[in-house]
């Protein structure tokens, strides 16, 4: 198969940007009720086996796979077959969606009302819709949107309904089911609910995977789930989870369908509904439990302006052409297809690569607003900036971002000053302008506060701001790592720079979307981009900065600064403070109070360190590299620390070279 025709290698600069259409525009002009009641007749998959949601359940329970597992479970547990069968059907009952067009129409009506109030535009790329329409007819389709907000899946269904496309069935976390009426309504609009963890539960896994596969094989509806697994609280993409992706690919591996098309969807919000909520959550204020009353309380958001949303439906990716030459499907032919099997190693790594690929495709098509550039600049100047300087630098950064392939939504024909000031206005909760000086908003000063409270308030505003900067990180991350590596390396020799690059790449691969196997490729890409922006020259001897390089390199280094500091802090904490008894549960609060102490003492100026997300990612990286190990004692998981390794990691992250060789050897 000519894979080139189906999946073109990404090249940010060559990608033709599609035209967007604002779907709210028409809604503002015509009757919402009429829209909700209009004739809905989507195109369907050509191989569709028509069936109702209820028949689907029967098919799943009668499938060879589920029957086999029921048998096995019954044998192992000694329970009667019909009891296990009953269990399976309870699981399915709890899980299954009950897609009903009437509920969808209700949502169409209610959401239109809400969307028109809080959003200015909802822009959708038309070419993407057409490609999707085509794909839905030809192959089972899996929609893979990015996940930043609860809004995501309502929005997706809303758009598909608007364009008369088949409504997806959506894998949602069980926590939604806690919302009484809403949970059921979501179910009736196509959501099916899965438990967050069901590690060892064979029966659950069998019912769940068969349910998804049956819908896929029959072409019942496009299947939608979030590769990232959960909403990203930081607005950077999360490292993908592969469980569900593996399930939807399996019918292809086993020859049950000719192909499966994966459609990456990038949903970019100008302002996220959960903005400060996320920041508080990251700082340790627990996330409010999903409840209907909570949702009602949240209706005050209806009075605010959340700007616009861009939804980009990417080019469908054919699993068949991706798997060409990688997956030998005949290996699947030696065992009956209904036997549950662990994915083979080559499959696992293929699924993993694909997951990263898709997330990168999502990232590439995120539409970036001027504000994200401004947020990046403000975070590097916490004490504030002059408005004119900010404007000038934002313009400069826009040039750099576009050179690196960013998908900017910059208003045409508007003077830069106006663009900047309207962005500032939209985000007035985060930033204030007084007398031409722009700085982050810090709490309400009139209320008397303890030092800790003040710090907390400051951290909320920094983290909120960071969540915007994070949206642009994917554009700069590879050159930024290279910039730090060039700074840290002994010399400008290419292999030394590469070693530093590779170290950072490994350390940060839980933090950013850096596919473990792609180090070399990404290094080349980073070099290419830096050269292209005129920041470096690659000569025979190595990689050297040019005279124009200073602002670019220091901006890029600045981007990573808080991450480097955060990781160093975690190393230091573990080295100095972690007693042998430190449990995994205690880890986050302990690091946080360690950091708070340092900040209050004036020894640390980095607020992002307080983010539990960064702390967890750092720990994951250390666990992965073996500097920290988990030891299970009784019921507790405690962390066991290798101080030597931590010490050298800390040094290397800080750019101290002497110990670097040893570290690399350990990696």
Partner 1 sequence: MASNSNSSERQRIAQQRLRIIAGHLQKHEDGESGLIATECKAEAAGSNGANKGTMPKKRQEVMKWNGWGYSDSKFLFNKKGQAEFTGKRYRLSGMILPSLQEWFENTFGASVKQHKSPATPALNPGALPPPNLNAAFLKDLKATGIPFSHEADDRVFRAHGHCLHEIFALREGRGFQRVPDTVVWPNCHNDVVKIVEMACKHNVCVIPYGGGTSVTGALECPPNETRSIVSLDTSQMNHILWLDEKNLVARIEAGIIGQDLERLLNERGYCTGHEPDSMEFSSLGGWVATRASGMKKNIYGNIEDLVVHMKVVTPRGVFEKSCQGPRMSTGPDIHHFILGSEGTLGVVTEVTMKIRPIPEYQKYGSVVFPNFEAGVACLREVAKQRCAPASIRLMDNEQFQFGHALKPQVSSIFTNFVEGLKKFYITKFKGFDPHQLCVATLLFEGDRERVLQHEKQVYDIAAKFGGLAAGEDNGQRGYILTFVIAYLRDLGLEYYVVAESFETSVPWDRVLDLCRNVKERITRECKERGVQFQPLTSCRVTQTYDAGACVYFYFAFNYRGLADPVRTYEQVEHAARDEILSNGGSLSHHHGVGKLRKEWMKESISDVGLGMLKSVKDQLNSERPKWLHSFQVSRPCVSRNVQAECLSTTQQCIRLHLTHCKNRCQ
Short-list 224, 227, 250, 108, CA closest to 168: 224
Measured distance CA(23)–CA(74) in Å, rounded: 52
Q: Contact between 329 and partner 1 (CB under 8 A)? A: yes
Q: Contact between 1 and partner 1 (CB under 8 A)? A: yes
Q: Contact between 62 and partner 1 (CB under 8 A)? A: no
Q: Contact between 50 and partner 1 (CB under 8 A)? A: no
Q: Which stretch binds partner 1 (CB under 8 A): 253-261, 377-385, 582-590, 630-638?
A: 253-261
Q: Contact between 325 and partner 1 (CB under 8 A)? A: no
Q: Contact between 339 and partner 1 (CB under 8 A)? A: no
Q: Contact between 330 and partner 1 (CB under 8 A)? A: yes
Query: Hunting for tokens 């990696």 — which residue is that?
Result: 667
Q: What is the CA radius of gyration of the chain?
A: 26
Q: Which stretch binds partner 1 (CB under 8 A): 226-234, 251-259, 421-429, 616-624?
A: 251-259
Distance in Å from the first CA to the final CA of the chain: 39
CB atoms within 10 A of CB 398: 18
Q: Which stretch binds partner 1 (CB under 8 A): 330-338, 380-388, 566-574, 613-621?
A: 330-338
Q: How far is the CB of 253 from partner 1 (least distance, A)?
A: 9
Measured distance CA(660)–CA(485) in Å, rounded: 12
Q: How far is the CB of 333 from partner 1 (least distance, A)?
A: 3
Q: Contact between 8 and partner 1 (CB under 8 A)? A: no
Q: Contact between 528 and partner 1 (CB under 8 A)? A: no
Q: What is the dihedral of CA 311, 419, 373, 423, to 10 degrees?
A: -70
Short-list 466, 463, 497, 460, CA closest to 482: 497
Within residues 175-204, the interface with partner 1 by CB under 8 A covers none
Give the pairing of strands 141-145 and 308-313: unpaired
CB contact at 8 A, 635 and 478: no
Residue 124: strand pairing partners: 21, 311
Taking phi first (over 0 means left), then psi (-120 to 50 degrees means alpha), and beta for anything else, what does residue 307 get?
A: left
Short-list 612, 519, 513, CA closest to 228: 513
Nearer to partner 1, 47 or 516 (CB): 47
Q: Contact between 665 and partner 1 (CB under 8 A)? A: no
Q: Which stretch binds partner 1 (CB under 8 A): 1-9, 75-83, 480-488, 564-572?
A: 1-9
Taking phi first (over 0 means left), then psi (-120 to 50 degrees means alpha), and beta for anything else, what does residue 139 get?
A: beta
Q: Which stretch binds partner 1 (CB under 8 A): 324-332, 382-390, 522-530, 632-640?
A: 324-332
Q: How far is the CB of 78 from partner 1 (least distance, A)?
A: 31
Measured distance CA(97)–CA(220) in Å, rounded: 12
Q: Contact between 341 and partner 1 (CB under 8 A)? A: no
Q: Contact between 411 and partner 1 (CB under 8 A)? A: no
Q: How far is the CB of 563 from partner 1 (least distance, A)?
A: 44
Q: Contact between 326 and partner 1 (CB under 8 A)? A: no
Q: How far is the CB of 63 from partner 1 (least distance, A)?
A: 13
**Contact with partner 1 (CB under 8 A) among 38, 67, 116, 337:** 337
Give kind and range of the element (H or E) at residue 631: strand 628-633
CB contact at 8 A, 166 and 172: no
x-marked contacts with partner 1 along 277-316 as a string, rule CB under 8 A: ----------------------------------------
Nearer to partner 1, 354 or 611 (CB): 354
Q: How many chain residues are in contact with partner 1, going by CB under 8 A?
A: 13
Q: Which stretch binds partner 1 (CB under 8 A): 12-20, 255-263, 280-288, 382-390?
A: 255-263
The helix/strand/coil state of 125 is strand
Q: Residue 293: is it exposed, middle or buried by C-beta count within 10 angstroms (0-12/13-18/19+)?
A: exposed
Beta strands (DSSP E) in 299-424 are: 308-313, 317-318, 385-386
**Contact with partner 1 (CB under 8 A) among 256, 392, 409, 561:** 256
Measured distance CA(520)–CA(541) in Å, rounded: 18
**Contact with partner 1 (CB under 8 A) among 26, 30, 258, 576:** 258
Interface positions with partner 1 (CB under 8 A): 1-2, 5, 255-256, 258, 328-330, 332-333, 336-337
């Amino acid at each position: 198969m000519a894979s080139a025709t189906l999946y073109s290698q990404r090249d940010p600069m060559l990608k033709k940007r599609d035209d967007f259409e604002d779907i709210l525009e028409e809604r503002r002009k015509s009757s919402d009720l009429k829209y909700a009641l209009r004739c809905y007749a989507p195109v369907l998959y050509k191989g569709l086996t028509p069936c109702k949601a209820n028949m689907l359940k029967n098919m799943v329970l009668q499938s060879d796979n589920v029957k086999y597992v029921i048998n096995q479970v019954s044998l192992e547990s000694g329970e009667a077959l019909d009891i296990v069968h009953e269990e399976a059907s309870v699981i399915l009952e709890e899980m299954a969606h009950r897609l009903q067009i009437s509920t969808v129409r209700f949502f169409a009506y209610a959401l239109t009302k809400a969307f028109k109030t809080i959003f200015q535009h909802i822009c959708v790329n038309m070419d993407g819709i057409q490609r999707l329409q085509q794909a839905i007819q030809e192959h089972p389709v899996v929609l893979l949107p990015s996940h930043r907000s609860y809004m995501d899946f309502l929005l997706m269904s809303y758009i598909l309904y608007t364009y008369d496309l088949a409504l997806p069935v959506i894998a949602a976390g069980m926590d939604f089911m806690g919302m009484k009426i809403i949970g059921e309504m979501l179910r009736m609009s196509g959501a099916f609910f899965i438990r967050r963890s069901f590690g060892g539960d064979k029966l659950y896994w069998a019912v769940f995977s068969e349910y998804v596969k049956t819908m896929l094989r029959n072409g019942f509806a496009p299947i939608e789930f979030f590769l990232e697994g959960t909403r990203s609280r930081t607005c950077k993409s999360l490292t993908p989870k592969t469980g569900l992706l593996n399930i939807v690919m399996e019918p292809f591996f086993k020859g049950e369908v000719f192909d499966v098309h994966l459609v990456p969807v990038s949903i970019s919000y100008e302002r996220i509904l959960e903005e400060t909520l996320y920041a508080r959550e990251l700082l340790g204020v627990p996330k409010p439990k999903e409840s209907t009353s909570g949702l009602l309380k949240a209706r005050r958001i209806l009075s605010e302006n959340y700007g616009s949303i861009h939804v980009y439906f990417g080019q469908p990716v054919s699993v068949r052409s991706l798997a060409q030459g990688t997956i030998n499907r005949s290996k699947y032919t030696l065992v009956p297809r209904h036997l549950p099997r662990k994915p083979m190693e080559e499959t696992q790594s293929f699924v993993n690569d694909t997951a990263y690929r898709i997330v990168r495709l999502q990232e590439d098509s995120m539409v970036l607003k001027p504000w994200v550039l401004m947020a990046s600049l403000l975070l590097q100047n916490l004490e504030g900036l002059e408005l004119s300087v900010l404007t000038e630098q934002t313009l400069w950064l826009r040039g750099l971002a576009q050179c690196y392939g960013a998908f900017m939504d910059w208003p045409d024909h508007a003077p830069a000053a106006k663009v900047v000031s309207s962005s500032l206005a939209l985000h007035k909760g985060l930033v204030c302008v007084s007398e031409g000086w722009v700085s982050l908003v810090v709490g309400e000063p009139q209320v008397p506060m303890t030092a800790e409270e003040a710090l907390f308030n400051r951290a909320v505003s920094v983290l909120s701001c960071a969540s915007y900067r994070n949206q642009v990180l994917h554009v700069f991350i590879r050159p930024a790592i290279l910039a730090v590596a060039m700074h840290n390396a002994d010399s400008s020799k290419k292999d030394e720079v590469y070693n530093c690059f590779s170290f950072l790449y490994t350390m940060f691969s839980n933090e950013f979307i850096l596919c473990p196997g792609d180090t070399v490729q990404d290094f080349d890409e980073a070099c290419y981009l830096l050269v292209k922006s005129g920041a470096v020259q690659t000569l025979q001897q190595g990689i050297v900065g040019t005279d124009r390089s200073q602002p670019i390199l220091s901006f890029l280094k600045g981007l990573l600064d808080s991450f480097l500091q955060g990781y160093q802090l975690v190393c230091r904490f573990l080295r100095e403070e972690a007693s042998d008894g430190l449990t995994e549960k205690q880890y986050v609060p302990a690091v946080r109070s360690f950091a708070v102490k340092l900040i209050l003492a004036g020894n640390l100026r980095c607020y992002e360190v307080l983010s539990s997300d960064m702390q967890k990612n750092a720990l994951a990286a250390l666990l992965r590299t073996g500097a920290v190990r988990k030891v299970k004692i009784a019921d507790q998981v405690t962390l066991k620390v290798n101080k030597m390794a931590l010490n050298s990691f800390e040094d290397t992250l800080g750019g101290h070279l002497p110990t670097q060789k040893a570290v690399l050897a350990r990696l």
